[in-house]
Structure 1
Amino acid sequence: MELNTIKDAFDRVSKRQKTSYTKTQDIIDSVGKEIELALNKLLNASEGSGVDQNAVIAELNAKLNEIGPTNQLGGSQKELNVALSKYGKVVDKQFYPDIAKAYREVEFDGHIINMIVALHFYRQGLFELGDCFISEANEHGAASLKAPFVEMYEMLEQMKARNLQPALAWASAHSDELVRKGSALEFKLHALQYMQILERGIQRDALTFARSSFAPFAPLHMEEIQKLMGCLLWTGRLENSPYSELLSSSHWDALSLELTQECCSLLGQSYKSPLHVTISAGCQALPTLLKLSNVMANKKQEWQTMRQLPVEIELDREFQFHSIFACPVSRDQSTEENPPMLMPCGHVLCKQSIVKLSKSNTRTFKCPYCPLEATVAQCRQLYF
């Protein structure tokens, strides 16, 4: 779905609407001004000033005809209607009424699907909805998925209230696992707690906290610790110090995000919900799949039984979790039996395409993308 296309069409409608509104308001103001002038003249005429009432009305009528409010408003409204009509067509084109055409018969494990949906609700913090779902789906075994995310959201809620104690306790309990992952989360939480104490202007308490908390992290974070110690000299006026950036609320937001990522990681879960990723990727692939299904239907060919799609599905980088290679000649995706091969010229083809081009293992062949020639023996397998 090309959301940018819809947005551009909407922006054009919005621009036309603003132009039409401005023009309409100007015309109304002009007409109102002329009517007001005419009324003043008619009032003077009623007081015996000798003003011809018919002449005043005739003059008003002439000026209104000169302004031409009906024609001007009609033209402006017509332009708006045209833009609005085009916008409707763009929306109809992008939002397909029947997406079932892109569906392929695939066997799904209902239990796994239910677990994925329940997990999505829990990791989004929608605990009541998750409980209701597993109850109605009769998947009571999924209830065990809830507890770790309840703990995570309690920590995040406390961090919003500027209370780091639950997060510090969790980081301390999982300290060894965080160290093995190379995570600096525990140190960052201690550093934020230290800055919070110092921000209150309590220098002695901050120094005591630093002595008891920073020692285990000194080998890896000495530079950061020295910077934090420098803040002691600016107690009570940190906002005017060289370390004022350490008071930014962005550190709380960044640490909340990192805490969420580490919690999910230690649970063996990805940071983003698998259900959300799958649906988002599917929305990007849907227009291509619908177009393919229509083309195949017109050719009276069945695509349900295809082992490989005849077109590439372009997805954003966020949906590419491992390196893949599709041969630019055969369009086939590389496999262990048909690996990518680097030619001396720098171009890469799959092994089967190189064998077909060479027609034998000793014969030279020309690269399909440049004038250089090579042999199969000169090509090297690539590993992604």
Structure 2
Amino acid sequence: MEASLKELAKLEKLASSSSKSKSPSVDASLDALLQSLRETRETIQAGSASADTLAALQRTVESTKKDVDDRQKEVYSSLARFGKTLDKRFSAPLPSYQPMFTSPEAVAALERTVAAHFLRTGQFETAETFIEESGVDIYPELRLHFIDLHRIISALKEGNIAPALEWTDRNRAFLEARSSALEFYLHRSQYIRLLLATHPPNVPTALAYARTNFKPFYHRYGSEINRLMSCIIYLPIARLQASPYADLASPTLHLDLEPMFAKEYCASLGMSRQVPLRVIGDIGGGGALARIEKGRKVMRERKSEWSQSDELPIEIPLPVENRYHSVFACPVSKEQATEQNPPMMMRTCGHVITKDSLQKLSKPGGRVKCPYCPEESKVAEALRVHF
């Protein structure tokens, strides 16, 4: 796909008005022609026009036509190269099926999905145009929710965690029920920013912030908070980056906040953490459709049927982020997890067992030894896993 993406990037540049091409963009050429026409009209209305005025206008029209033709040739040439790279990448034709969105209900559902996709990905102008032209009915609350989501994410990109903290404060009960680490990670990010934002480091301000905001989280993140306090001895940042606490100086410590917040925000709306249309495109366009069609072709040639439910005996490889598991079987008790006996992840090593197994393996003092490694964890620190 790399060659196709390169050609697509070239095509996008040619189609944009900011392209550094030999010929000006079509928009720029037409705008210049309109300006010339307006000036000529004003000259004629003023009674000062001459034969040279009309001759100059004729030359302008011819020059503009040549510029537009040249730019169009570049665009068409780039479009042809892009098509050739797609043909090489996807040599097998896409399967053809009967139209699936024929009923009014199906069409409305598809349009709502597309409109929600535009809103969720922050393409608000495109969403408004699509909603207006399609007439699809979208709940006003949904639109406001996604505007709020992208407002907060934009603030996080700029290093401002205040809007995100306001949201976590309003939704603390929901986050605690999910054992979410979002609020702690927001405070951790702000603490590190305060610690490293100035030279020399502003240690008193950072410690004051830590004393105010870390206390409610110490029972769950005590070891992490201890690391945050201990990293001070390796300041300034040059020493910290070469110390055992180098991960605290990494930019990823702050960049992870954006997807984490989006995940929790969407979960509060009852939506998946991934954008549905993007998942469909990644899986289907990433090879699933071609593999399924190839399997169908082989089965037809062999004149064999896999099942009456139109299944195929093939496996579709999926990226790790698209592997979903709605059922968890405890490797210790061999029982499936339930709402009453949910999967729990031991914080120290990350291994997962059910809550009943966690209680049975716990020792006096509230600690449990992992059945798969020599690590021990506090039972109170075990986190519930949501699939």
Does residue 167 of structure 1 match 2:169?
no
Does the 8 Å contact 1:194/1:206 carry over to 2? Answer: yes
Does the 8 Å contact 1:239/1:247 carry over to 2? Answer: no
Residue 269 of structure 1: how far off its partner (Å): 1.3
Does the 8 Å contact 1:194/1:210 carry over to 2? Answer: yes
Residue 105 of structure 1: how far off its partner (Å): 4.9
Deviation per CA, 1:45-93: give whole Å up to 9, x if none: xxxxxxxxxxxxxxxxxxxxxxxxxxxxxxxxxxxxxxxxxx9699358
Does residue 239 of structure 1 match 2:255?
no
- In the alignment, what sits opposite 2:224? 224
Residue 152 of structure 1: how far off its partner (Å): 1.7
- In the alignment, what sits opposite 2:215? 215
Does the 8 Å contact 1:102/1:286 carry over to 2? Answer: no
Label 1:270 to 1:245 Cα distance change in 2 as closer, same or farther (>3 A): same
Aligned-partner Cα distance in 1 for 2:234–2:267: 38
Residue 190 of structure 1: how far off its partner (Å): 0.5
Residue 280 of structure 1: how far off its partner (Å): 2.9
Does the 8 Å contact 1:102/1:293 carry over to 2? Answer: no
Label 1:316 to 1:216 Cα distance change in 2 as closer, same or farther (>3 A): same
Deviation per CA, 1:173-194: give whole Å up to 9, x if none: 2222111111111011111111
Aligned-partner Cα distance in 1 for 2:131–2:116: 10
Does residue 94 of structure 1 match 2:90?
yes
Aligned-partner Cα distance in 2 for 1:250–1:267: 27
Instruction: Specify the code of the residue in structure 2 equivalent to 1:111.
Output: A
Deviation per CA, 1:337-378: give whole Å up to 9, x if none: xxxxxxxxxxxxxxxxxxxxxxxxxxxxxxxxxxxxxxxxxx
Which shows bigger deviation, 306-315 or 166-175? 306-315
TM-score (norm 2): 0.53
Does residue 153 of structure 1 match 2:155?
no
Does the 8 Å contact 2:295/2:314 carry over to 1? Answer: no
Does residue 188 of structure 1 match 2:190?
no
Label 1:203 to 1:147 Cα distance change in 2 as closer, same or farther (>3 A): same
Does the 8 Å contact 1:134/1:143 carry over to 2? Answer: no
Aligned-partner Cα distance in 1 for 2:324–2:155: 33
- In the alignment, what sits opposite 1:285? 288
Deviation per CA, 1:132-170: give whole Å up to 9, x if none: 111111123344322222222112211221111111222
The equivalences for 1:311-322 within 5 A come to 311-312=313-314, 314-316=316-318, 318-322=321-325
The equivalences for 1:94-133 within 5 A come to 94-96=90-92, 99=94, 101-103=96-98, 105=100, 109-133=106-130
SS in 1 for 2:310: coil
- In the alignment, what sits opposite 1:352? none
The equivalences for 1:66-77 within 5 A come to none
Instruction: Specify the code of the residue in structure 1 equivalent to 2:290.
Output: P
Label 1:121 to 1:105 Cα distance change in 2 as closer, same or farther (>3 A): closer
Aligned-partner Cα distance in 1 for 2:108–2:152: 30
The equivalences for 1:264-303 within 5 A come to 264-283=266-285, 284-291=287-294
Instruction: Specify the code of the residue in structure 1 equivalent to 2:238.
Output: E
- In the alignment, what sits opposite 1:260? 262
Residue 245 of structure 1: how far off its partner (Å): 3.1
Aligned-partner Cα distance in 2 for 1:223–1:93: 50
Aligned-partner Cα distance in 1 for 2:124–2:132: 12
Instruction: Specify the code of the residue in structure 2 equivalent to 1:168.
Output: L
Aligned-partner Cα distance in 2 for 1:198–1:323: 41
Instruction: Specify the code of the residue in structure 2 equivalent to 1:179.
Output: E
Instruction: Note the residue ranges of structure 1 that are not aligned, 5 or more in a row.
Output: 11-86, 325-384
Residue 293 of structure 1: how far off its partner (Å): 6.0
| Counterpart pick for 1:198 among 179, 184, 195 | 195
Aligned-partner Cα distance in 1 for 2:232–2:207: 8
Instruction: Specify the code of the residue in structure 2 equivalent to 1:265.
Output: A
Deviation per CA, 1:252-307: give whole Å up to 9, x if none: 1112221121112222111211112223333333224444665788899999x963
Alignment RMSD: 3.7
Instruction: Specify the code of the residue in structure 1 equivalent to 2:249.
Output: L
Aligned-partner Cα distance in 2 for 1:216–1:100: 56
Residue 311 of structure 1: how far off its partner (Å): 4.3
Does the 8 Å contact 2:122/2:146 carry over to 1? Answer: yes
Residue 124 of structure 1: how far off its partner (Å): 1.0
The share of aligned pairs that are identical, in percent, is 28
Label 1:96 to 1:142 Cα distance change in 2 as closer, same or farther (>3 A): farther
Label 1:247 to 1:231 Cα distance change in 2 as closer, same or farther (>3 A): same
- In the alignment, what sits opposite 2:361? none
Does the 8 Å contact 1:101/1:290 carry over to 2? Answer: no
Aligned-partner Cα distance in 2 for 1:323–1:202: 47
Residue 217 of structure 1: how far off its partner (Å): 0.5
Aligned-partner Cα distance in 2 for 1:151–1:211: 30
Label 1:181 to 1:250 Cα distance change in 2 as closer, same or farther (>3 A): same
TM-score (norm 1): 0.53
Label 1:290 to 1:171 Cα distance change in 2 as closer, same or farther (>3 A): same
Label 1:90 to 1:158 Cα distance change in 2 as closer, same or farther (>3 A): closer
Aligned-partner Cα distance in 2 for 1:227–1:299: 63
Residue 246 of structure 1: how far off its partner (Å): 1.1
- In the alignment, what sits opposite 1:134? 131
- Number of residue-to-residue matches in the alignment: 240
Looking at CA atoms only, which structure, 1 or 2, has the larger radius of gyration?
1
Query: Going by fraction, where is helix more abundant, 1 or 2?
Result: 1
Structure 1 consecutive aligned stretches of length 4 or more whose deviation exceeds 6 Å: 87-90, 295-303
Does the 8 Å contact 1:197/1:205 carry over to 2? Answer: yes
- In the alignment, what sits opposite 2:357? none
